[in-house]
Each structure stands twice: as C-alpha cells, then as structure tokens.
Structure 1
Amino acid sequence: MGPADAMSRAVFGVFWLGEMLLLLNPPLFLAGRPEVPGFEHYW
C-alpha cells in the first residue's frame, strides 16, 4: 500500500461515482457537470 496505490484507488472511486451518477440520472449529471468542483482536473 503506497501513495500510488492510494491515488489509483481514489481515481477509480471518482470514475465509479461518475458512472453511477450517469447511469442513474444522466440529465442531472450532464446539467450539473460544469458546477462540479475540480471537474476540469479530471477531464
């Protein structure tokens, strides 16, 4: 368990959460996307 592993887990969690939001409520996710803090850093 190192910093790199923790980082990869965090990134995976962020993408997984994004996928769940996209699957559950695409319009809300797409409409609120620009307001998400730090969104520019991931895409």
Structure 2
Amino acid sequence: MSIFDKLKEIEARYTELTDELAKPETFADTQQYQKIARAHS
C-alpha cells in the first residue's frame, strides 16, 4: 500500500466522520457524538 492510498483512506474516513457529526440523530445521542468527535479530531 502506497502513502497515497493511505492518505485516500484517511480522507475518506474523515469525510465519513464529518457526515456522521452532521446528522441530527448523532447530535441527539451524546455518547455517540462524543465518540465520533474524538475520532474526528
């Protein structure tokens, strides 16, 4: 796996986490929101 492949994976995961944080149901679930926010940072 090249460094570029790894960067694409990281970017995809970051985008996924950002989308999850934007969902109202995630925001309503404090524990889930905190878990995703930690992974996002």
Normalization by structure 2: what TM-score?
0.59
**Percent sequence identity over aligned pairs:** 3
Cα-Cα RMSD? 2.4
Post-superposition shift, 1:19? 0.4
| Aligned positions, number | 35
Higher relative contact order (CA 8 A, sep 6+): 2
Task: Name structure 2 gaps, 5 residues minimum.
Answer: none
Residue 18 of structure 2 aligns with which residue?
A: 19
Structure 1 segments of 4+ aligned residues over 6 angstroms from their partners: none
Residue 4 of structure 1 aligns with which residue?
A: 3
Letter in 1 for 2:9: A
